[in-house]
Amino acid sequence: MSWWKQARAKWLSFLRRLVDLLSGILFRATYAIKGRTAMPPIKNLLLLEPATSIAAKIRSRKLTSEEVVKAFINRIEEINPVLNCVVDHRFEEALEEARAVDRMLATTKKTPEEILKETPFLGVPFSTKDAIMVEGMSFTAGLHCRKHIRGSEDAETVARLRKAGAIPLAITNTSEVCMWWESHNRVHGRTNNPYDTSRIVGGSSGGEACIQAAAGTPMGLGSDIGGSIRMPCFFNGIFGHKPTRGTISNHGEWPVASETHETYLGTGPMCKFATDLLPMVKVLAHRDLQLDRKVELRRLRIYYMEDDGGNPHVSPVDAEIKQSMRKVLDYLAQAHGLKPTKIDLPRLRRAVSIWLAKMNIVGTPDFCQQLANCEGSINLGWELMKWTVGQSNHTFIALMTALTEKMGVQPGTPGYDRLFSMCQELHDEMQALLGEEGVFFYPTHPTPAPYHNEPVLRPFNFSYTAIINVLGFPATAIPLGLSSNGLPIGLQVVGGLHQDRLTLAMAVELEKAFGGWVPPKIEV
């Protein structure tokens, strides 16, 4: 790197840190004046159980599905006025389906083991984001012109959970068109973090992560094309899994992914307990991932990076996040005799540029077309003018995303081709490194949950998750407790292609070692 480029990078890094510092002071002062809303405490211990445990008690008739569904309905009614995570529900239908489950169990001659094999989540309610179709329910993806659209059928993932006995209960909030990392739109408004209502929940599966963290449902579905499962899981202190590309169906979602984008988009489970992840993936996956194959942790190769190597446009990784990673690595060394290896992958510094280039595909709808529900295109200049006087039906960040796309590197240019080549080189390098027995620990996000609107000043901080999408690797978000100011922190663990079982096993191990999800507030 030339002296000029080095000097420019140092100046941009300084500017990035200065903006982060000043914005932090400004937003902290603003919300100190506005205050925070208290979270309703968890009073029913049933809400603290894993989905698999609830399912076991239902099929052995220690609990009825009806009382389970009622408990979570009551919890949603408590939390939603504060958090605004649920945008639609089917409470009455879910209760009737729960009663049908209870009637069947009262007369069946099947053993609990047979029921487990056929319907592992029998009678357990679940939720899903407002971009994954549930028949008859809200299907807006946070887009104003879709505000009256309802699901015409179940998405394949929803159908698979239904077939496994689970009961759809609620639809949760997203960002506009699922393309930003704060869940806020002109249809359903903004969702608040259960650990601090002045903070974001992430996006686009932010409402789903929020309802899980607040114990509103025992499990749920999210989708992830740039970190939309993992970032919300990180901000809300729960577990989530983005699967290997092409292993879980994206059918029945909006925006509809193109053939190319389909390989970046991953639909997967979000839940409070790591023990629920693998059973959910087994239900959802349509390709064999050898999930029943035993993982011997002592045989794994552990690689890690504490940051991306210094992208000047991305915030520095918080010291407490780095410290939590070191604790994990020390634990694996002491408990399993593993020797974590620190590596340097220089191409990760270009994560944002690579992701933006890979998303900009010729022949696919651009963001202005998506903001018009792919029925024509919005006039970006006119919408920006309308926004300044409060008349646009779009959020500021959605309009800025459309503008950024137009100003970014364009297909057919040498820079675009270089970024595509760089992505393939990074993929090959990481796949060779990880193989079938390697995992890579990497930050999920550089900071704990920012204040509402603060991401506008940190627009590229999603890079840590986004790069994994275009590489196609599986990645699991793992919570590691709370920071000194009471916000969730954690990391993501990445595996080689089709090695989802490794990252899922690591989530279970680290949940045992570090406690996993920390409930926001309990009162019993």
Over residues 173-205, the pLDDT tens digits come to 999 999 999 999 999 999 999 999 999 999 999
Q: Which of 198, 204, 315, 353 is catalytic?
A: 204
Q: Which of 421, 201, 426, 448 is nearest to 323 (CA)?
A: 448
pLDDT at 34: 85
CB-based contact 478:269 (threshold 8 Å): no
Is 129 among the catalytic positions? yes
Q: Is 186 exposed, middle or buried (0-12, 13-18, 19+ CB in 10 A)?
A: middle
Catalytic residue among 70, 129, 242, 272: 129
Predicted pLDDT of residue 524: 65
Residue ranges per structural domain of the chain:
40-286+299-360+408-514
The whole-number pLDDT of residue 522 equals 84
User: Which residue type occupies 203?
Assistant: G
Tell me the pLDDT tens digit for each residue of 254-265: 999 999 999 999
Q: Could you confirm whether 249 is annotated as catalytic?
A: no
What are the CA-CA distances from residue 240 to residues 10, 59, 110, 467 (Å)?
35, 26, 32, 17
Hey, what CATH class is 40-286+299-360+408-514 in?
alpha beta
Judged by DSSP in three states, 154 sits in: coil
How deeply is 98 buried, as exposed, middle or buried, from its count of CB atoms within 10 A (0-12, 13-18, 19+)?
buried
Q: What is the mean pLDDT of residues 38-64?
A: 97
pLDDT mean over 391-416: 92
pLDDT digits (tens, 9 = 90+) for 95-109: 999 999 999 999 999
Residue ranges of E strands in 198-254: 219-224, 239-242
Amino acid letter, residue 387 = W
Axis crossing angle, helix 351-359 with helix 396-407, rounded to the nearest 10: 90
Give me the half-sphere count of Cα atoms (radius 13 Å) on the Cβ side of residue 399.
17
- Residues recorded for the chain: 524
- Of the candidates 44, 40, 24, 43, the one whose C-alpha atom is nearest the C-alpha of residue 32 is 24
Is a pLDDT exceeding 90 seen at residue 26? yes
Residue type, 288: D
pLDDT confidence bin for 231, thresholds 50/70/90: very high
pLDDT level of residue 12 (50, 70, 90 thresholds): confident
pLDDT per residue as tens digits for the range 421-457: 999 999 999 999 999 999 999 999 999 999 999 999 9
Asked, as a colleague might, if the bond just before 255 is cis with ω within 30 of 0, I would say: yes
Check whether 159 has a pLDDT greater than 90. Answer: yes
Confidence bin at 36 (pLDDT 50/70/90): confident
Q: What is the pLDDT of residues 281-308, one digit of tens each?
A: 999 999 999 999 999 999 999 999 999 9
DSSP string, 241-273: EEPSTTSB--TTBSSPPPTTGGGT-EEEEEES-
Question: Exposure of 481 by Cβ count < 10 A (0-12 exposed, 13-18 middle, 19+ buried)?
Answer: middle
Quick one: pLDDT at residue 1? 55
> Residue 97: which of 150, 148, 62, 58 has the closest Cα?
58
- The residue written with tokens 């809400």 in the block is 47
- Work out the average pLDDT over 17-35: 91
Torsion angle (degrees, nearest 10) of CA 427, 429, 433, 436:
40
Q: CA-CA-CA-CA torsion for 373, 376, 377, 383, nearest 10 degrees?
A: -80
Q: Is 136 left (phi over 0), alpha (psi -120 to 50) or beta?
A: left
Q: What end-to-end distance do the CA atoms of the chain give, in Å?
A: 60
Q: How many CB atoms lie within 10 A of CB 334?
A: 9
Give residues with Cβ within 8 angstroms of 354, minimum separation 6.
347, 419, 422, 423, 426, 467, 470
Distance between CA atoms of 213 and 240, rounded to whole angstroms? 12
CA 45 to chain centre: 26
Residue among 183, 223, 228, 353 flagged as catalytic: 228
Out of 179-183, 262-266, 410-414, 520-524, pick the least confident. 520-524
Reduce the secondary structure of 93-152 to three states and give it as a string.
HHHHHHHHHHHHHHHCCCCHHHHHHHCCCCCCEEEEECCECCECCECCCCCHHHCCCEEC
Mean of pLDDT over the chain: 96
Q: Within its chain, how far is the Cα of 286 from the centroid? A: 21
Question: With bands split at pLDDT 50, 70 and 90, how would you rate the model's confidence at 408?
Answer: confident
342 labelled catalytic: no
H helix count then E strand count, the chain: 17, 13
Render pLDDT for 340-360 as a digit per residue (tens, 0 to 9).
999 999 999 999 999 999 999
CB 251 within 8 A of CB 156: yes
Give the CB-side neighbour count of residue 124, counting CA atoms within 13 A: 31
Exposure letters 66-97 (e unless 16+ CB within 10 A, then b): bebbbbbbebbebbbebbbbbbbbbbeebbeb
> What six digits make up the tokens of 262?
């389909």
Strands of 239-242's sheet, edge to edge? 86-89, 167-172, 125-129, 219-224, 266-271, 239-242, 475-482, 488-495, 438-442, 301-304, 341-342
The pLDDT assigned to 6 comes to 77
Residue 244 tokens read as 């290997």
